[in-house]
Amino acid sequence: MIKKIILLITFSSLCNIISAQQSAITLDFGLPGRFGNRITVYYKAKLISYTYSIPLLYREGGKLFNLMSLHKAEKRLDQCDIKQFKNIVRLTKKEKPSLIKANNATLYIVDFNTNLASLGIKPAAGRDETFLKEFRQMVQPSDSLQEVFRPKDKITVAVHVRKGGGYDRPLFMEKVQIDPFLIPTSDYHDVIFPKRFPPDQFYIDQIKYISKMFHNKPLYIHIFTDSKTPKDIVEKYKTAVGLPNVTFACRETENFYDKNVLEDLLSMANFDCLIRPESYYSMMAEKIGNHMIIISPKSFVWKNRNMSINKVHIIKRIDEKQPK
């Protein structure tokens, strides 16, 4: 009987974590997708919650989310009576800031299409020290995970090379090397999303650029990839870069698109520099991290069945870099 009373009291207190008339933010992860897409939804919801001072009510995000501190630390939607909300509003691509009210008993749903800019939230908001500290704490693993090695006597560069790894469609830039008469079509993922799968030359050029920027000081390059053969990428880049001050490394065993996902994300965030594609996975590493340099593709061109990155986006935070 006593146990039953305790359970009733506990459930009642959980249901009252949102007071009368108070609004809340929750998440819709949508269809199953890669981890980068799903954690981006959480990031958007967390930043909207912080900006508008509206509590976040967490919903299950999958097995990797269960490994992060947020799984236990966040208040949960299933601990509340959803009937207490008078309105339910999905935040889409075109919603305006005036729509969001902290005290009109509205449950706002954030999904992958929610547009932060349309809600008046600028990219700089994600660098707010208070928000960033809390967000970093939430995405930390609840139990220890083995992060990738980083030497202390070298400038470390995380390079995210997305190849699909059996999850995405084949890449045209790889197939055309075997059959030079192929035609680019939507059957190939790099034709649909060129900046998500930039050619190897993009990475090679940016590694050289960072080396030159730091006056050829010792660099430690770790290739983070979903490729089944990461050592092949390392050997190709090592030969093409051809600089004695640059050391290359990768995960040499058990490297698959669905392995070491959380470990690699947090490891990339802790490197000094980041070279990434237009992938939500490494974009999130950029948001979590405090990199000195971040380089990503800005635009591309196709010529004679070859795609190249003709402009890059470079963020320099050397002056604001602080110890993590």
pLDDT value at 245 more than 70: yes
User: What pLDDT score was predicted for residue 12?
Assistant: 38
The answer to whether residues 171 and 255 belong to one domain is: yes
- In angstroms, rounded to a whole number, what is the distance separating the alpha carbons of residues 253 and 250? 9
Whether 188 is in a domain gets the answer yes
User: What pLDDT score was predicted for residue 6?
Assistant: 34
Domain boundary among 80, 104, 139: 139
Structure tokens belonging to residue 288: 């979590």
**Mean pLDDT computed over 118-146:** 92
User: What pLDDT score was predicted for residue 256?
Assistant: 60
The answer to whether residues 252 and 130 belong to one domain is: no
- In angstroms, rounded to a whole number, what is the distance separating the alpha carbons of residues 93 and 111? 10
- Domain of 210, CATH number, reads 3.40.50
Tens of pLDDT, residues 256-285:
666 788 999 999 999 999 999 999 999 999
Quickly state the pLDDT bin for 62 (edges 50, 70, 90): confident
Q: What is the number of structural domains in the chain?
A: 2
- Residue in 119, 72, 57, 71 with CA at minimum distance from that of residue 92: 119
Strand, coil or helix: 107: strand
**What is the span of the domain harbouring residue 221?**
155-316
- Residue in 135, 142, 16 with CA at minimum distance from that of residue 71: 142
Higher pLDDT, 324 or 28: 28
Beta carbons of 169 and 318 less than 8 angstroms apart: no
Whether 78 is in a domain gets the answer yes
> Which region among 5-14, 76-85, 315-324 has the lowest average model confidence (pLDDT)?
5-14
Q: Write the burial class of residue 160 (CB in 10 Å: 0-12 exposed, 13-18 middle, 19+ buried).
A: buried
Strand order across the 219-225 sheet: 246-250, 219-225, 155-161, 273-275, 293-303, 306-316
Domain boundary among 109, 139, 169: 139
